[in-house]
Structure 1
Amino acid sequence: MNDPIQRCKVLTAGVLNLILVMGIARFAYTPLLPAMQEQTDLGAAEGGWLAAINYLGYLVGAVVASVISDLELKDRLYRIGLVAAVVTTAGMGLTENLWLWAIFRFFAGLSCAAGMLIGSGLVLNWLMRNNHRGELGIQFSGVGLGMALCAVAVEVMNTVFDWREQWFVLTAIGALILIPAWVWLPRPESIPSGVNRKTMEDSPPGAIFMRLVTAAYFCAGVGYVVSATFIVAIVDELPGLEGKGVWAFLVMGLAAAPSAILWDLVARRFGNMNALIAASLLQAVGILLPVIEPSLMLTMLGAILFGGTFVGIVCLVLTMAGRFYPSRPAKFMGKMTISFGIAQIVAPAFTGILREHNGDYAVGLYTASATMLVGSVLLLMAKSREVGETPTPEAVKR
C-alpha cells in the first residue's frame, strides 16, 4: 500500500495526538500557572507538587505501556488517552480544590503516556507495515506545536478570560483536535505472531554503558522538567521581563517543533552519542541563560536552546532503543522512562519548595543546569567505552 493521502492523514493524526496530549493536557499548565497562582490560593510549592503528580501519572502510564504488546489493546488505550486529555483539561477549570487538581493532573499524565508512547508507536507501526519510512521527527513536531498553540492561546486570552475560562477554551480546542486524531489513525490490523521478528536481532549494550546512560537520562529529566514546568513563572518574575514568560514559552515550542528532525540529521552525521552529548551541553546553557542576566535577548536565546534540545534528547534515546532492541524497543525505553520519570516527579516538587523558601527560582535553575552537566559527563564516560556504538559479543549473547 502506498497511498500518499492516507500516509498524510496518519502522520497528521500522530502530530495532532501530541498537540492534544502533550501541548494541551500536559503543557497548558505551564503558561496558565502564573494566572492560577494570582487568582487562586495556589502557591509555588503546591504548583510544584501538582507538576510532580502529573509526571507521576506519566511514569505509571509509561511503565504500563512498556509491558503491553497487544496492538488492539494499545489502540484502545490510545483512544481512551485522547478522551482523558480533554476531560482532565476541562476538570482543571471546574474546581479550586487542590486534591481534585492533583487527580486531574495525574490522569492527564496517564493520557500523555498513552499518546506519547502508545500513540506514536501505533503511527510508526502503521508506517512500517505499509512500507513507509518511520517519520519520528514529523510526529514529534506535535510537542513543540502544541506548546506554541497554548502559548498563543493564553497570550490572547489573558486580557479577556480568567484562569478558569482559559482552561475551558483550551478544552474546546482539544475536543476539536481529538476528532481527526481519532478518525485518521486506522485500527491496527491483525498480524501473525513472528512476522518480521526473525530478521530483527537484538544487540544489547554492556551493563556499565546501560547504567551510565540511564543515570544520564535521569539528569536529562531533571534539566527538562524544571524549565518546562516553570519557565513562564520564572521569566515573569525577572526584573523588566514581567509578562514576557508566555513569549519565552512560545519561542520554546517553536524551537522544539523541528528539533527531532534536526537532531536526527546531527546524529547521522556525527553519531548518536556525540549528538546526545552536544544536546545535553546546549540544554545546560539554555536553562541558565535567563538567570545569568535578566534580559529579553538572553531569555529568548535560552528558550531556543532549551526548546531545540529537550525533544531531540528524547528522540535520540528512542533511536538508541531501536538500535539495541529492534524486536522489543520497549525493553530499553521502559528502563529509560522510569529513570526520566523519577526525575520529573522529584525535580518540580523540589524546585517549588526552593521557590517558597528563597523567593525565586534561581537555585532551581542552577541545580537543573548543573545536573545536565553531570549528565553530559556521564554520557562522555559511556561513549569512552565505545559499547554504545559497537556492542560486544558478550553483550549480544545476553
Structure 2
Amino acid sequence: MRSATSLAPWQVSTGGIAGLILSIGLARFAYTPLLPLMQQQAGLGDAMGGTLAAINYAGYMSGALLAALIDDPRWRSRLYFWGMLLGLVATALMPIAPQSAPHLALWAISRYLGGLSGAAGMLLGSGLVLGFLMRAGRRPELGVHFLGLGLGIVVSALGAMAMDRLALDWAGHWWGFVLVGLPLLAITWWWRPPVPPPAAAALAAGAPSPRWMRWMIAGYFCAGWGFVISATFTVAIVERQPLLHGQGPWAWLLVGLAATPAVFLWDRVARRTGDLNALLTAFALQIVSVVLPALSGSLAAALTGALLYGATFIGLVSLTLALVGRRSPGNPGKAMARLTLSYGVAQVTAPALAGAMAQASGSYLASLWLTAAVLTAGMLIMWRLRGLERRGEV
C-alpha cells in the first residue's frame, strides 16, 4: 500500500496532467479534429455532429452531479481512476461502429461515457491532486494541473496530423488515439494521488450575495457557450473554407499551443488589473476570435481566431472558478458546482443548435455571429458585476 510520502509532488502533478490529457484531450477533444473526416467518410451530418457533442456534455454534467454527491475520499479516488479507464473505453467505442453506415447509438454512448470521464479528470482529479500538494506542504498551483487541458488539445491535433500522413481512415484515427491513451492510463495509475484523509473541520463561513452569484452564473453560461462552439467546430469551420481545406488540424494545434500557458498569463493579468477586469479582457478577446473567421475566410483569420480562442477559454474558466472560490470560503465546492452546471447547460444546448443551424444553412456563419452575441452578453455581465463591486454589493 502506498503512503502519502512515496510519491514526489512532481509525480502526482504529472499523473494528474496525464489524466487530463486522457479524459479531456482524447475522450473529448479528439472528436474535434476527426469530425470533418467522419463527415466525409462515415456519413455523419452537421446536425448529428452537434448532437453528439451535446451528448458528451450531458455526460459531463452527469459526472459533475455525481462528483458533488460523493464525500467519501476513498470513493472519490476510486471514481477518479474508473473515470480514466472509462475515457479509454469511450475512445475505443468510436471505431467499433460498422464502416458502411453511421452507428449513431454507439457513438452516442461513446460521447456520453467520454463526458463522464472528463468530469472525473476535471473535478475529481483536480481536487485529489491539489489536496495532495497542500498536504505535502506545496502551494497548490492550479495552472500546473490545467496544463493538461492545453496539452490535450496539442496531443489530439498532432495525433490527427500524424495519422493523416499515414493515410488512415476515420476508424484508424480513433484506434491510433486508443494506443496513445494506453501509456497515459498507466501514468495516471502509477502516479495517482494517495487516498486523502477524512475531511477536517469545516471552513470559515462566508459567501457572495445571491444577486452577485446570479450574475456570475449567467456570465459563466456565456463563457460556456463560447467555449463549446469553438471546441466542437473549429476544425470543421476551417475545412469548410474552399481555400483552407486540409488546414483544420493546424488551427486546432494553435488552440492547444495558446491554451497551454494561458492560465499563468491570465493569473498575472488578474493580479495587475483585478479579476473582473481580466475577465472583461478575456471575453473581449474571445469575441474577436469568433468574429474574425465570420468576417474573413482567409487562413490568417482562421489561425488568429484559433490562437485567441486558445488563449482565452482556459482563462475564463480558471479566473471565474478562482474568484468564486475565494468569495465562498465556507463552501467553495458548492459554489463551483453551481457554476459548472451553468457552464454545462451551455455546453449541451449550444453545439446541438449550432449543428442544426449549419445543416440548415450549409455554413457555420450564423452560429459564429450568435456566439459573438452571447459572448458580448457575458462581457456586459462582467461590467455589471464590476459595478456591484464598486458599490460594495458583493
Aligned-residue offset at 1:189: 3.4
1:98 corresponds to which of 90, 94, 104: 104
In the alignment, structure 1 residue 118 sits paired with structure 2 residue 124: yes
**C-alpha contact (below 8 Å) 1:66/1:333 kept by paired residues:** no
Partner of 1:53: 55
Measure, in 2, the Cα distance between the counterparts of 1:16 and 1:327.
31
1:245-394 matches, within 5 Å, as: 245-386=248-389
Aligned equivalents of 1:259 and 1:192: distance in 2? 32
| Structure 2 counterpart of 1:396 | none
Q: Which amino acid aligns with 2:36?
A: P
Shift of 1:192: 5.8
Instruction: Point out where structure 2 has 5 or more consecutive residues left out of the alignment.
Output: none
Q: Report the Cα distance in structure 1 between the residues aligned to 2:196 and 2:226, rounded to whole angstroms.
A: 39
- Residue 137 of structure 2 aligns with which residue? 131
Coordinate RMSD, CA, aligned: 1.8
Q: Could you tell me whether the CA contact under 8 Å between 2:72 and 2:198 is conserved in 1?
A: no
Does the 8 Å CA contact 1:20/1:85 hold for their aligned counterparts? yes
What residue identity is the alignment partner of 2:133? L
1:225–1:344 contact (8 Å) kept in structure 2: yes
- Distance between the aligned counterparts of 2:283 and 2:90, measured in 1? 32
The answer to whether residue 174 in structure 2 is matched with residue 167 in structure 1 is: yes
The whole-number CA distance in structure 2 between the counterparts of 1:20 and 1:202 is 36
Query: Which residue matches 1:108?
Result: 114
2:183 aligns with one of 176, 183, 194: 176
Looking at structure 2, the residues matched to 4 and 324 of structure 1 have their Cα atoms a distance apart, in angstroms, of: 35
1:259-291 deviation line (CA, Å, top 9, x unaligned)? 111111111111111111111111111112112
What's the counterpart of residue 196 of structure 2?
189
Distance 2:130 2:291 in 1: 35
- Give the distance between the partners of 2:58 and 2:272, measured in 1 at CA: 36
C-alpha spacing 1:4/1:75, structure 2 compared with 1 (3 Å): closer
CA positional deviation for 1:327: 4.4
Letter in 2 for 1:179: A
Runs of 4 or more, structure 1, over 3 Å off, are 1-5, 389-392
Check the 8 A contact 1:142/1:257 in 2, yes or no.
yes
Letter in 2 for 1:181: T
Task: Describe how 1:59-70 pairs up with structure 2 within 5 A.
Answer: 59-70=61-72
TM-score (norm 2): 0.95
Of the structure 1 ranges 96-105 and 30-39, higher mean CA displacement relative to structure 2 is found in: 96-105
Which residues in structure 2 correspond to 1:15-30 (within 5 Å)? 15-30=17-32
Paired AA for residue 177 in structure 1: L
SS of residue paired to 1:93? helix
Aligned with 1:204: secondary structure?
Answer: coil
TM-score using structure 1 length: 0.94
How far apart are residue 3 of structure 1 and its match?
7.7
Q: CA deviation at 1:190?
A: 2.1
Question: Are the structure 2 counterparts of residues 339 and 390 from structure 1 closer, same or farther at C-alpha, using a change threshold of 3 Å?
Answer: same
Percent sequence identity over aligned pairs: 44
